[in-house]
A and B are shown apart, each in its own frame.
Chain A
């Protein structure tokens, strides 16, 4: 998984992934301190995240291994909201 910060929301009515009521979040990749890396992607929000949250992103075919996304054309999903990151005993991020 990689870190990302919830930067906003993407609305798309004409879709082919057969997901209804799905929320697509605009995510900016970030490092373990939460510093943005100017690299954006769209991810399906599975955990009801809110703006500015640092989240955990799963990418690729593993994304279709949840009940909602089973056999659905999705390759990036938010799998968790990060509360705290500790690196070598030092707190690098706290929600």
Chain B
């Protein structure tokens, strides 16, 4: 899974039938060493109810269709977790409650 920050939402009223009702979020990939954005974006299907600003992880490829929300949908990237905290080399480099 890759780590990203939700930086926006996508609205696409004209889309394939079985994607209707799905929430599409704009994700910016994060450089975990600095927790800064890599200026590299993607659109992912939201399966966990993530909000803008939150750090999440997402799956790509066929695994993206293995959540209940995305089963049988033409998605190749699905958010599967909202990150609460990241510990790296014994240090807390990210905590959801207060942005470090």
Contact = CB atoms under 8 A, between A and B. Distances in A.
Interface residues of B, number: 35
- Which of A7, A18, A71 counts the most chain B CB atoms within 10 A? A7
Contact of B1 (A8, A11, A14, A41): A41
B88 A12 contact: no
A16 B70 CA distance: 10
Interface in B13-50: 31-33, 47-49
A51 to B, nearest CB: 7
Interface residues of A, number: 30
- Which of B57, B61, B93 counts the most chain A CB atoms within 10 A? B57
A75 B88 CA distance: 21
Given A42-B1, A43-B1, A60-B63, A73 B78 contact: yes
Contacts of B70: 73
Interface of B: 1-3, 31-33, 47-49, 57, 59-64, 66-70, 78-90, 93
